[in-house]
Amino acid sequence: MKTSHAFAAVLALSLLAPLSRGDADERIRWEPDAAAAFALAASEGKPLLVAFNMDDEVANDEAVRLHYRDPEIVRLSRKLVCLIGSIGDHTDDPGETCPRLGSLTCAQHREVEKEIRRRFIEGNLVEAPQHVLCAPSGEEMFRKAFQMSVPDLKRAMAAALIRAKDGPEARQACLSALRNASESVRALGLVAAYGLEPHPDLAKALRSLARHRSSSVRALAVWALAGQQDPEDEPDFDRFVRSARSPELRELATAAARIHRGEDVPGYANLFGAFFWDRGGDVHLRGSVFY
């Protein structure tokens, strides 16, 4: 088995296989120093997960209680460098590990919050919970403000791991995921595909999925195919816009057509998180139900 295909298989297994009983109580290990974390990511070639969290709010509390303790997210997090910022104070002992977030003190997560806010937020108003996935260089790849499902966060983390690989290896891992029979793993490949270097094999696979019987798969494929910017696809993007049956699909197809023409569409890389959600392991378009 080639390394690239093995990597895709490992990612798929990490999404699906349960943790051992001894690991059941583990959670994400947050780095205590932001500057050191960015340096570590660059030196080891690891993507970053950057999170903003606040106290006494349902979605933020859910992220701490569910997302950051989810066994599959915990497993994926071991392959990334993880940072979390919170201005909260959760213990009277300044030297005690934060009981809310674990692995760092409250003073440390307050200092991390200052640094990641400086890097990723314009102004002082922070929308939380918020998750940012970055390349090893620190360049932002994905961002989702407010509530994000456990499967969507899992998919974004796995896609960031694929993109962090060298060009040919990332492309082969992505293609392996696109050819997988599991819709969840295929969706991972589609999320990873946007942002990879254009390549005929990748464009061919995305064109095929853009004609898939599932509307949700077609929509994700159109979103990813736009990044290939192949002039031969121009008629297809016109067709995607004309055939859109809902405002959400029309907005997505129109944005994809603009990206394909080389125009700038702010926030386009994050549309997969804005439009898609999970139910029963399948991928759906927000505002629509597909069968």
List of domains in the chain: 3-155 (3.40.30.10), 194-285 (no CATH)
CB-based contact 177:187 (threshold 8 Å)? no
Respond yes or no on whether the N-terminal peptide bond of residue 129 is cis (omega within 30° of 0).
Answer: yes
* pTM over 0.75, yes/no: yes
Choice between 185 and 97, residue whose per-residue pLDDT is larger: 97
* Spatial separation of the C-alpha atoms in residues 79 and 96, rounded to whole Å: 26
* pLDDT the model gives residue 273: 61
pLDDT over 80 (residue 84): yes
* pLDDT the model gives residue 276: 54
Mean pLDDT throughout 34-62?
97
Per-residue model confidence as pLDDT tens digits over 245-287: 777 778 888 899 999 999 998 888 877 665 554 444 444 444 4
* pLDDT the model gives residue 282: 44
* Spatial separation of the C-alpha atoms in residues 29 and 158, rounded to whole Å: 17
Which residue, 169, 136, 131, is CA-closest to 149?
A: 131
Beta-carbon count within 10 A of 61 CB = 15
Give, for 189, the enclosing helix (H) or strand (E).
helix 183-193
* pLDDT the model gives residue 240: 86
Per-residue model confidence as pLDDT tens digits over 6-32: 445 445 544 444 444 444 458 999 999
Angle between helix 183-193 and helix 200-209 axes, rounded to 10 deg: 130
Average pLDDT score, the chain: 83
Per-residue model confidence as pLDDT tens digits over 179-235: 887 777 788 888 889 888 899 999 999 999 998 888 778 888 999 999 998 888 888
Confidence of residue 98 (pLDDT cuts 50, 70, 90): very high
Mean pLDDT throughout 60-72?
95
* pLDDT the model gives residue 156: 86
Mean pLDDT throughout 148-176?
87
Cβ-count burial 160-170 (b if 16+ within 10 Å, e if not): bbbbbbeeebb
* pLDDT the model gives residue 185: 79
Per-residue model confidence as pLDDT tens digits over 126-154: 999 999 999 999 999 888 888 888 888 88
* pLDDT the model gives residue 275: 53
